[in-house]
Amino acid sequence: MTGRGAIAGLSLLCVLALCAFAAPSATALEGTTAFTCKPEPKPTELTKGFEDEHCNKAAQGSKVKFIHKEIAEAVKTQLLVTNNETAAKTVTAKLKTTVEKKEFAAQAEAFTTCEGKKTTVANLVFEEEMFTGGIFCGEYTKVTVTEPKNCSVLNNTIKLTDEGIWISEVKENPLTEKVEMWLEFKPPAGKPFATFEITGGKECPLDKKVVELTGTVETTGTFSTSPLDGATLKFNTKTSGETLKAGAEEAKFEGTFTPRMLLEGEGETNPIVLTTTKT
């Protein structure tokens, strides 16, 4: 995590605990802001917005179907996150690593955040700059092990450790040398990202082996520095393999997810969109 990211993380934890947060000593070039991608039923000729529910395709006038609505500052908004690009298209999540010198690969057909107010987003301000972050919790279900043969994961489930935090920051992508928005997901201090047990009896060479995933996971998602950032988060094996570990081995993770606002009495509603903001 960069100096700014560390400061943002400390500030975020303090805000989530409803206390005052200290001003940072670092100054960033750009901030980040979270919006909902809200339906617009009555656009006018002057309306500017988007054609799609992920607020990716810019539009104006009668073509506008959705618009950005900024989430109020310092308000914790509950999220539901699932493994999809749209409500109709789910995307399998995959994990590859090495366990006791044996290649291990698993995939999950489903992901959802924990019940209750355990996954949130908030827009926070320090030194007149906005940044976005929150807490997260969730579990992968319908997990199958593709390697080694004859192995499975206990209860076909991998649960993330509760009360992890995620923060956004704008920094240079070392692969493209472009300044982009990044999200970093961190487990609680001193705890693993997730823990799961491999099963399968005598036919599974890793039977009863408990695996701890440690470190962090970063993604640039589909973000750019334009205002057309969408709601879909995409994790790839390159960035995840550098920061997520199973023991001393790289843990390469890939997945696609969409966060949506949860409102009491209404359930799942609009997708959450993150954008960069110039200082």
What DSSP string runs through the chain?
--HHHHHHHHHHHHHHTT---PPPS---SEEEEEEEEEE-SS--TT-EEESSTTS-SEEEGGG--EEEEEPPBT--EEEEEESEEETTEE--EEEEEEETTEEEEEEEEEEEEPSSS-SEEEEEEETTEEEEEEEE-EEEEEEEEEESTT-EEGGG-EEBPTTEEEEEEEEE-TTT--EEEEEEEEPSTTS-SEEEEEE-GGGSTTTT-EEEEEE-EEE-TT--SSS---S-EEE-HHHHHHHEEETTEE-EEEEEEEEEEEETTTEEEEEEEEEEEE-
Note the pLDDT of residue 226: 41
pLDDT band for 241, please (50, 70, 90 cuts): confident
18-32, 126-140, 199-213, 250-264: segment of lowest average pLDDT: 18-32
Assess whether pLDDT exceeds 90 at residue 31. no
Note the pLDDT of residue 175: 67
pLDDT above 90 covers a percentage of the chain that reads: 46
Q: Does a structural domain hold residue 261?
A: yes
Per-residue pLDDT tens for 108-144? 999 999 988 789 999 888 767 778 889 999 999 999 9
Assess whether pLDDT exceeds 50 at residue 19. no
Assess whether pLDDT exceeds 60 at residue 80. yes
pLDDT band for 194, please (50, 70, 90 cuts): very high
Range with the largest mean pLDDT of 8-22, 92-106, 259-273: 92-106
Per-residue pLDDT tens for 148-157? 999 999 999 9
pLDDT band for 230, please (50, 70, 90 cuts): low
Q: Does a structural domain hold residue 209?
A: yes
Q: Does a structural domain hold residue 29?
A: no
Note the pLDDT of residue 20: 31
Q: Does a structural domain hold residue 268?
A: yes
pLDDT above 70 covers a percentage of the chain that reads: 80
The pTM for the full model equals 0.82
Q: Does a structural domain hold residue 56?
A: no
Note the pLDDT of residue 21: 31
Q: Does a structural domain hold residue 169?
A: yes
Q: Does a structural domain hold residue 151?
A: yes
Q: Does a structural domain hold residue 10?
A: no
As for how many domains the chain has, the answer is: 1
Burial status of residue 112 (CB atoms within 10 A of its CB: 0-12, 13-18, 19 or more): middle
Domain of residue 193, residue span = 74-278
